Amino acid sequence: MSGTRDPSTPDSKHLEYGKKHECVVQVKGQMEFEEKEGKKIEVTASGSGVIIAKRYVLTAAHVVQKTKDPYIILNGKKIAIKNVVIPRLFKEENTGPYDIALCRLNEDAIIDFYPELYDKDDEIGKLCSLAGWGMHGTWETGTIYDDEKRRAGSNYVDPIMFCGMITCSLQDKSKRTSLEFLIGHGDSGGGLFIDKKLAGIHSCIYTGDGKLDSSYKDYSAHTRVSIHKEWIDLIINDYEKVIKMIEDNS
């Protein structure tokens, strides 16, 4: 799901804002599911990701952990994901602060702006933008429409931490932003940005009304990029050194 908006705000505004988040792309691949009768079927799984360098994308671990032949779609073009690195502490049965994956692409993904990674411990209370792909709707309807378009909106990071993750919820009228927005499930892997830096990876929705549809009383949880920045930088550094060594010796 690609998020819900204030019923009084035109969807066109969120679509227009979504265009400013070119680095947020679709992540797709084949995933196997087992039906009640025990029969296994393969379906196309879809999520979001954030391009952080020409060859690298960050997404949620649960988006790519069991996905076969994953790829991103950038401006209508498929680019295969060659390698996926997931933190050892990530547990597939639940989300949490390790729901993040670093993916290396098979070829360069060229965009105008690659976001820096947020490295501060001051996310709480900050104004942020959120972007992703998939279904959409309003806070009254929940996510009910699917047109595979990127949407974006804004919110404030809540003054709470859930399992070490930063969270967002629908604010009361006096605190709402002009493009108040809440992510949905299919936004997993998309980006939460503070001061144009990538500060969170969309992970999951928690509900206060028993319906996971990003309507009133629901709130979102996002993997904090700041606590993983050193890990991400280290892997990219080491990997590129190995690649260069192989190329120099070939």
Q: Write the pLDDT tens digit of every residue in 200-241.
A: 999 988 877 666 666 666 788 999 999 999 999 999 998 888
pTM beyond cutoff 0.85: yes
pLDDT at 67: 93
Distance CA 124, CA 94 (A): 23
Average the pLDDT over each of 99-103, 123-127, 145-149 and give the range with the smallest value: 145-149
pLDDT at 210: 66
Query: Which residues, in sequence order, are CB contacts of 59 under 8 Å at separation 6+?
Result: 27, 47, 48, 49, 50, 100, 101, 103, 188, 189, 201
3-state secondary structure of 224: strand
119 vs 205, residue with greater confidence: 119
- Phi first, then psi, for residue 219 (nearest 5°) are -145, 160
Residues 60-78 pLDDT 10s? 999 999 999 999 999 999 9
Share of the chain above pLDDT 70, in %: 92
CB 109 within 8 A of CB 57: yes
CA 87 to chain centre: 16
232 token code pair: 């991400």
pLDDT at 206: 82
71 token code pair: 């790829």
- Phi first, then psi, for residue 138 (nearest 5°) are -115, 175
pLDDT score of 115 more than 50: yes
pLDDT range class, residue 94, cuts 50, 70, 90: low
CB 237 within 8 A of CB 104: no
- The stretch 111-136 carries a mean pLDDT of 94
Residues 29-62 pLDDT 10s? 998 877 767 778 888 889 999 999 999 999 999 9
Average the pLDDT over each of 129-143, 153-167, 180-194 and give the range with the smallest value: 129-143
| Other beta carbons within 10 Å of 135 | 22
Average the pLDDT over each of 80-84, 89-93, 209-213, 240-244 and give the range with the smallest value: 209-213
- The stretch 124-132 carries a mean pLDDT of 96
- The stretch 12-36 carries a mean pLDDT of 91
pLDDT range class, residue 1, cuts 50, 70, 90: very low
pLDDT at 249: 77
